[in-house]
Structure formats: structure tokens, C-alpha cells
Amino acid sequence: MADEISDFTRSMSIATSGLRAQSGRMRVISENIANADSTAQTAGGDPYRRKVPTFSSALDRTLGAQTVSLGKVRPDRTAFTIKHEPGNPAADAAGNVKYPNVNSIVEMTDMRDAQRSYEANLNIISATRRMIQRTLDILKS
């Protein structure tokens, strides 16, 4: 019985780490989407730079299992979009304005992927809770 409880705990902890990681990923993606059309605060300056979340895996020695967490959030080094808008306050001397290197379609695709992963981890937690409840019901009878 102790092994089953340990397995249930391990399953819940691994899924919980996945929930936290995907939640952090969705937060970064949301920030990217929110800043997709922003411009620099100063004329000729750089606008918001897209952020790319990474994951890291670590061994949880108390569980004896690999867990995942949101790793470093790195800047995307791809080029900014440049548009000729001489009347824009963020325009440089040549009248060009830099826009963020955020592609809303890519961000929405990433968000959907993160959402599906989040839901999968949530389903694991729900299934584990149901198994624990069934085990307790069997032991009571």
C-alpha cells in the first residue's frame, strides 16, 4: 500500500511541476502578445523584444522522479520589423519605426500548445485523485 501512495504522490508532483511550467510559459507568451504592436519609448529606440521561454528538468530526490520547471526566459534575437512612418514619435531620423519581433500567429500557436500541455497535466492530477479515492473506498469496505 505504501508503494501505491508513493506512486500517487510521485504522479501528482510530476504533473504539478508541469502545470507550473506551462503556466509560466503562458505568462511569457501573453506578455509577447500584449507587446506585439508596441514601439520604442524614444525616437529611434528599440521596441519590445520577444521572449522565449525554456524548460529545465531536475531530479527530485525525495520523489525519485524527474520534474520540470520554467527555465531561463531568453530574448529572441531575430530582427525587428521596420516600417517607414515619418510621423510616428518612435521614428528615427530616416522616418523608420522598429516594431517588435513578435508574430501573433506563432504566439497563438505556442499558447494553444501550452494550453494543451497544461490540460494534459491537469487530467493526470484528476485521474490520480480518482484512483486515490477509489483505493480509499475499497479499503473502507
pLDDT digits 0-9 by tens, 60-114: 888 788 899 999 999 999 999 999 999 999 999 999 999 999 999 999 999 999 9
Give pLDDT, residue 60.
85
Cα Rg of the chain, angstroms: 22
Give pLDDT, residue 53.
97
pTM of the prediction?
Answer: 0.86
User: With 80 as the cut, is the pLDDT of residue 1 above it?
Assistant: no
**Cell numbers found for residue 20:** 507550473
Q: Determine whether 130 is exposed, middle or buried from the number of CB atoms within 10 Å of its CB (0-12, 13-18, 19+).
A: exposed
pLDDT digits 0-9 by tens, 4-31: 567 888 889 999 999 999 999 999 999 9
Q: How many beta carbons lie within 10 A of that of residue 29, not counting itself?
A: 25
CA distance 81 to 99: 5
